[in-house]
Amino acid sequence: MAFDGIVTAAMAGELREQILYGKIDKIYQPESSELVLHIHTKNGNRRLYATVDSSASCVRLIDKNPLNPPAPLPFCMLLRKHLQSGRITSVEQKDSERILEISVETLNELGFTVNKKLIFEIMGKHSNIVLVEMSTGKIIDCIKKISLDESRARQVLPGMTYSYPPSQNKIPFREITEEELENAGDTPKALLSKVGGIAPCFARELFAAPHRYALLRKFLSRIEDNALEPVVYEDEQGKPVEFYMAPLSEYENSCKRLDFDSLSHACGYFYEHRNATNRARQKSHSLVHSVKNRLDKLYLKKQRLNEDLLKAENSDQLRLYGELLTANMHLIQPGMKEVTVTNYYNGKEITIPLDPRWSPNKNAQNYFKQYGKAKTAVHEKKAQLKENQENIDYLESVYTYLNNTDSIRDIEDLRQELEEEGWIRPRKAANRRKKPKFRPHPLKYQTSDGFTVLVGRNNKENDALTLKLASKNDYWLHTKDIPGSHVILETQGKELTETAVMEAAALAAYHSKARTSENVPVDYVRVRYVKKPNGAKPGMVIFTHNRTVYVNPKEPDGQKG
């Protein structure tokens, strides 16, 4: 984790330049571990983002707003009360530590000026955000409360006097002398245990340098002169492996280097690309679990309905028993448990079970009644099977979308769709707030020969894409009998090409349950032949005049968004 004391110092300088003397306009808490401050400055509006997530703890500026919950969380409400409309008077790093302190001047309920400090402790799993009253040093509140049960060394609770995290008995990088650094150890690990505020990557950089102290001073001079060169290093698969406020020689030859115009952008790129998949998986975990449980129940119901249907369809023997009993009542004596008679359809003998409690006629009528119920059950079971299969098809499509997406926005849209369809219970806060108007924004691609391809991200978007946005002369594509997205190949009056069809079909296969398969069948047909039956579930359509091609799933490089 490269957000060490040196990066913290560089970030403090960047934030001072961007938000010092700015006014805090709005405060949001997108997640329980995240905080966003909207700050109005003389150079425009800025958004300060902080997270105490153990795998991505950082403080940086962002360009876009994260998705916010329907109702603000308690810590967010408290910060709004104490900091909203306040002015930022300083942005400082605590010594050489991974601690940023933002001092805010604001007014209390009586109209008097008061000073408060928002402290960001960027320390992996021990990260925290703490609001402190500067005049008393008391903690007003914190994003993570640490009680005596959780830590005997240091408690962080409202009302307590704030104390900094305990020292690690290292020499801070700002205070270490040339002699101490040169003799700090003969391995990167030894350097790391001696020098405070540096990350393993910078410890290795120091160890490899001919003159350690000169290199340290060079990095610190960059910070003082605001001459940062933020970089991110990626491996061969395009996954970020490290970022820093200036280039690191260790990664120059082994990784791809990406340069950024600000440390915030480098930091954001690193964490967003490294953790996007994990965050989305965490976000979708409960949905995936819920949909999977529903599907398992529907599969079991389908099995039982099929068994009942098979039993009902094999009910002709009940009618035969009734007919034979009616024709042979003279052979039946009171109290008999069975009777053997001749089956006049084939001339063979057949034994018929009897209920000794009833008369021969009553036994015959019971068989006719059971036969009638079985015939009625055939129609009922078939109707139930059809409805059950529609539910399975729908939930399998949702399950496919959840497993294929790495977008938190897509996951939230799928959650809303499941709530509206009654598959999951709405969140309480969402019930008290008006739902936003649905606006489709499908994925957009370009084929190699210039055709535009649109791909739905969920079932509601599939309906909008196919039934409203697409022209009747466009082409609709979907994997054959496999859950997946609706794909629209826009013709815009042009003649369809084989290249466009095959690339769009490869996209349809990629955005389906068959993403990891080969030779996937994909149907394609003009949109005019695609219809939605009355009462059909979202994303469910019927079509005619279709053709089928077989492709390997592939996502082209021409994605627009």
Identity of the amino acid at 88? I
Neighbours of 119 (CB within 10 A): 20
DSSP for 282-325, please give it.
HHHHHHHHHHHHHHHHHHHHHHHHHHHHHHHHT-HHHHHHHHHH
Stated as kind and residue range, the H or E segment containing 179 is helix 178-182
Fold of 1-166: ibrinogen binding protein from staphylococcus aureus fold (2.30.310)
Stated as kind and residue range, the H or E segment containing 280 is helix 263-313
3-state secondary structure of 350: strand
Question: Of residues 176 and 153, which shows the higher confidence score?
Answer: 176
Q: What are the tens digits of pLDDT across the range 328-365?
A: 988 888 889 999 999 988 889 999 999 999 998 999 99
Query: Which candidate, 200, 278, 234, 279, places its Cα nearest to that of 7?
Result: 200
Domain boundaries, the chain: 1-166, 286-436, 443-551
Neighbours of 331 (CB within 10 A): 14
Query: Which candidate, 365, 349, 355, places its Cα nearest to that of 332?
Result: 355
- With DSSP H G I counted as helix, E B as strand and the rest as coil, what are the percentages for the chain, rounded to 5? 40, 25, 40
Low-confidence winner among 127-136, 197-206, 285-294 (lowest mean pLDDT):
285-294
Asked if 391 contacts 298 with a C-beta cutoff of 8 angstroms, the reply is yes
Structure-token pair, residue 524: 């394609």
Low-confidence winner among 97-106, 243-252, 281-290 (lowest mean pLDDT):
281-290
Which residues have CB under 8 Å from 218's CB, separation 6+? none
Identity of the amino acid at 8? T
Q: Is the pLDDT of residue 560 over 60?
A: no
pLDDT of 557 reads 61
Query: Angle CA(377)–CA(378)–CA(381) in degrees, nearest 5?
Result: 75
Asked if 360 contacts 341 with a C-beta cutoff of 8 angstroms, the reply is no
Q: What percent of the chain has pLDDT over 90?
A: 66
Query: Which candidate, 470, 543, 472, 553, places its Cα nearest to that of 508?
Result: 553
Structure-token pair, residue 196: 């405070």
3-state secondary structure of 254: coil
pLDDT of 281 reads 61
Q: Is the pLDDT of residue 159 over 90?
A: yes
| Average pLDDT score over residue span 108-118 | 91
Asked if 339 contacts 332 with a C-beta cutoff of 8 angstroms, the reply is yes
pLDDT of 139 reads 96
Asked if 137 contacts 128 with a C-beta cutoff of 8 angstroms, the reply is no
> Which one-letter DSSP state was computed for residue 468?
I
Q: What pLDDT band is residue 430 in, cutting at 50, 70 and 90?
A: very low
pLDDT of 8 reads 95
Q: Are strands 195-196 and 171-172 parallel, antiparallel or unpaired?
A: parallel
pLDDT of 432 reads 45
Asked if 394 contacts 537 with a C-beta cutoff of 8 angstroms, the reply is yes
Write down the residue that tokens 């036969």 correspond to. 371
Q: What pLDDT band is residue 435 in, cutting at 50, 70 and 90?
A: low
Low-confidence winner among 229-243, 280-294, 545-559 (lowest mean pLDDT):
280-294
How far from each other are the two terminal CA atoms of the chain, in whole angstroms? Answer: 30
Q: What is the dihedral of CA 51, 56, 59, 62, to 10 degrees?
A: -90
Q: What are the tens digits of pLDDT across the range 6-40?
A: 999 999 999 999 999 999 999 999 888 999 999 99
| Distance of alpha carbon 352 from alpha carbon 349, whole angstroms | 10
Asked if 421 contacts 303 with a C-beta cutoff of 8 angstroms, the reply is no
pLDDT of 437 reads 67
Q: What pLDDT band is residue 483 in, cutting at 50, 70 and 90?
A: very high
> Roughly what angle, to the nearest 10 degrees, separates helices 360-404 and 263-313?
170
Asked if 440 contacts 464 with a C-beta cutoff of 8 angstroms, the reply is yes
Full strand arrangement of the beta sheet holding 443-446: 443-446, 452-455, 487-490, 475-479, 520-526, 547-551
pLDDT of 431 reads 42
Q: What are the tens digits of pLDDT across the range 507-539?
A: 999 999 999 899 999 999 999 999 999 989 999
Asked if 80 contacts 34 with a C-beta cutoff of 8 angstroms, the reply is no
Q: Is the pLDDT of residue 480 over 80?
A: yes
Q: What are the tens digits of pLDDT across the range 373-401?
A: 888 888 899 999 999 999 999 999 999 98
| Distance of alpha carbon 29 from alpha carbon 68, whole angstroms | 7
pLDDT of 428 reads 61
3-state secondary structure of 130: strand
| Distance of alpha carbon 471 from alpha carbon 483, whole angstroms | 23
pLDDT of 408 reads 73
| Distance of alpha carbon 536 from alpha carbon 460, whole angstroms | 12
Structure-token pair, residue 154: 């240091």
Strands in 136-193 per DSSP E: 138-142, 171-172
pLDDT of 108 reads 85
| Distance of alpha carbon 184 from alpha carbon 207, whole angstroms | 10
Please, how many CA atoms are within 13 Å of residue 346, restricted to the half-sphere of its CB?
A: 4
Q: Is the pLDDT of residue 106 over 50?
A: yes
Structure-token pair, residue 538: 């979202």
What Å distances lie between residue 317 and 27, 320, 330, 368, 453, CA to CA?
A: 74, 5, 21, 10, 57
Chain centroid to CA 396: 17
| Distance of alpha carbon 32 from alpha carbon 52, whole angstroms | 9
Asked if 67 contacts 412 with a C-beta cutoff of 8 angstroms, the reply is yes
* Mean pLDDT, the chain, whole residue set: 90
